[in-house]
């Protein structure tokens, strides 16, 4: 390398001298490039190649090329190379043109155009898939591995309306230089593949390359038109929900905390949205945040449900989708009495009710009298009672038993009255 450096310097010096002392001759005419070809080099990727015209006078001039993509989407750019790689869909065909220009003088007349094109791939109309949608999701792979995160890919589509019943579709994706075929299809009622799941892919979580997805098919009855589509990762990435959401109420402070979602992006890359639902008043409060905590002042005795969602912020990549809301966390109370108090009240009511039933049954079946057979010669009215009390002075043991018996019956009646 070191021996090449002086050589390069000399060459550069030579070009500078050539350029400065020779403005393009008025007689120079630019000729179009030759052998312009478009080659499919990969899924949804082409290489445009051409050669400088062999008759083009190249002394004293710096040639460049103006490339114009005509289909599927118009685009034009300039280059000094004689080849150019393009990532593009191909199911609508592809066509491009190129002309020779003077690199350092754009007002100098350019050459005529040469064009080339790729045909629309063959297949019967209406047989290719429609409504292809794909989403990616970051999954934990292996924490001990140097790549702890992997990206999964899920795509769904609908069979073409004119696709024969025996049609079978096959999906491939390409990311960077790697192309993989789907291994896990879901089928429709006619056993045609209509969805695909890649639990793991070579897609880089933080990558900025296009994701190319290609679906072709086969059938005995018709040629199935292939379909391809390019996806920007930020637009289809289904971000995971924030983790470990916790909420607690301390007097009038509702404080909520969470952790960043499972993701290859670091903490500072996330925007959050917190949703607090007041179940008593029935209203939502939502807040956009960049932090991992949120404290809200509450003046209401109520039960709150708290949810958080995340999105990768524009600081780290173009704006994409919000994650799903996290599972709701409930805090606070919308009832004045805690459940233990309610439990005691219910328990007491149940006890009284059982006692009442028992006493009713006893009465109906005269169980009472059976269980406590009347003492000999029971007195039947209060008058007698007083009589017996008066007799007490006489000190007969018989009257003493009688008094106890009355007292018990009265006690039971008091209990019954308190139930109602």
Ligand X SMILES: *[C@@H]1O[C@H](CO)[C@@H](O)[C@H](O)[C@H]1NC(C)=O
Binding site for ligand X (CB under 6 A): 23-24, 34-35, 51, 54, 105, 107-108, 130-131, 142, 144-145, 158, 170, 172, 216, 218, 243-244, 259
Look at residues 163, 221, 214, 154 and name the one whose alpha carbon lies nearest to residue 190: 163
Nearer to ligand X, 261 or 399 (CB): 261
**Residue 357, C-beta contacts closer than 8 angstroms, at least 6 positions apart:** none
Nearer to ligand X, 105 or 390 (CB): 105
Cα Rg of the chain, angstroms: 44
Nearer to ligand X, 140 or 344 (CB): 140
**Residue 72, C-beta contacts closer than 8 angstroms, at least 6 positions apart:** 88, 89, 92, 93, 94
Least Å distance between CB 175 and ligand X? Answer: 15
Tell me whether the omega of the peptide bond preceding residue 95 falls within 30 degrees of 0, making it cis: no
Nearer to ligand X, 145 or 393 (CB): 145
Least Å distance between CB 32 and ligand X? Answer: 12
Least Å distance between CB 234 and ligand X? Answer: 21
Cα separation, 238 vs 136, in Å, equals: 6
Asked whether the beta carbons of 219 and 163 are under 8 A apart, the reply is yes
Least Å distance between CB 94 and ligand X? Answer: 16
Nearer to ligand X, 225 or 317 (CB): 225
Nearer to ligand X, 58 or 396 (CB): 58
Cα separation, 82 vs 373, in Å, equals: 121
Cα separation, 361 vs 299, in Å, equals: 53
Q: Which residues pair with 179 in a beta bridge?
A: 174
Cα separation, 409 vs 405, in Å, equals: 7
Least Å distance between CB 84 and ligand X? Answer: 16
Least Å distance between CB 142 and ligand X? Answer: 4
Nearer to ligand X, 103 or 385 (CB): 103
Least Å distance between CB 90 and ligand X? Answer: 11
End-to-end Cα, the chain, rounded Å: 106
CA dihedral 323→326→332→336, nearest 10 degrees, is 110
Look at residues 170, 191, 192 and name the one whose alpha carbon lies nearest to residue 181: 170
Encoded tokens for 73? 């989407």
């Amino acid at each position: 390398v070191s021996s090449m450096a002086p050589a390069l310097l000399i060459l550069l010096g030579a070009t500078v001298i050539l350029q400065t002392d020779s403005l393009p001759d008025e007689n120079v005419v630019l000729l179009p490039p030759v052998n312009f070809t478009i080659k499919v080099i990969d899924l949804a990727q082409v290489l445009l190649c051409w050669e400088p015209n062999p008759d083009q006078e190249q002394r004293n001039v710096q040639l460049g090329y103006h490339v114009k993509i005509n289909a599927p989407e118009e685009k034009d750019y300039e280059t000094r190379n004689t080849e150019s790689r393009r990532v593009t869909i191909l199911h609508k065909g592809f066509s491009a043109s190129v002309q020779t220009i003077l690199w350092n003088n754009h007002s100098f007349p350019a050459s005529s155009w040469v064009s080339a094109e790729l045909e629309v791939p063959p297949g019967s109309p209406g047989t290719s898939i429609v409504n292809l949608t794909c989403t990616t999701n970051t999954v934990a792979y292996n924490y001990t591995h140097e790549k702890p995160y992997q990206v999964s890919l899920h795509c769904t589509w609908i069979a073409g309306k004119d696709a024969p019943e025996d049609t079978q579709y096959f999906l491939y994706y390409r990311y960077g230089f790697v192309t993989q075929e789907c291994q896990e299809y879901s089928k429709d009622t006619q056993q045609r593949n209509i969805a695909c799941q890649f639990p793991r892919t070579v897609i880089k979580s933080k990558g900025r390359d296009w994701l190319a997805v290609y679906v072709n098919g086969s059938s005995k009855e018709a040629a199935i038109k292939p379909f391809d589509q390019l996806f920007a990762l930020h637009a289809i990435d289904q971000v995971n929900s924030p983790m470990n959401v916790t909420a607690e109420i301390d007097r009038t402070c509702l404080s909520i905390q969470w952790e960043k979602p499972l993701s290859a992006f670091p903490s500072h890359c996330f925007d959050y949205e917190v949703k607090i639902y007041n179940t008593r008043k029935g209203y939502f409060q939502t807040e956009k945040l960049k932090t991992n905590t949120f404290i809200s002042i509450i003046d209401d005795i109520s039960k709150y449900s708290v949810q958080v969602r995340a999105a990768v912020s524009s600081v780290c990549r173009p704006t994409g989708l919000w994650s799903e809301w996290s599972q709701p966390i409930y805090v606070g109370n919308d009832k004045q009495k805690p459940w233990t108090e309610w439990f005691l009240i219910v328990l007491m009511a149940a006890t009284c009710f059982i006692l009442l039933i028992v006493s009713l049954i006893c009465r109906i079946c005269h169980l009472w009298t059976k269980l406590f057979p009347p003492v000999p010669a029971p007195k039947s009215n209060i008058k007698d009672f007083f009589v017996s009390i008066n007799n007490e002075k006489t000190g007969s043991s018989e009257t003493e038993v009688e008094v106890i018996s009355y007292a018990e019956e009265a006690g039971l009646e008091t209990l019954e009255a308190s139930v109602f």
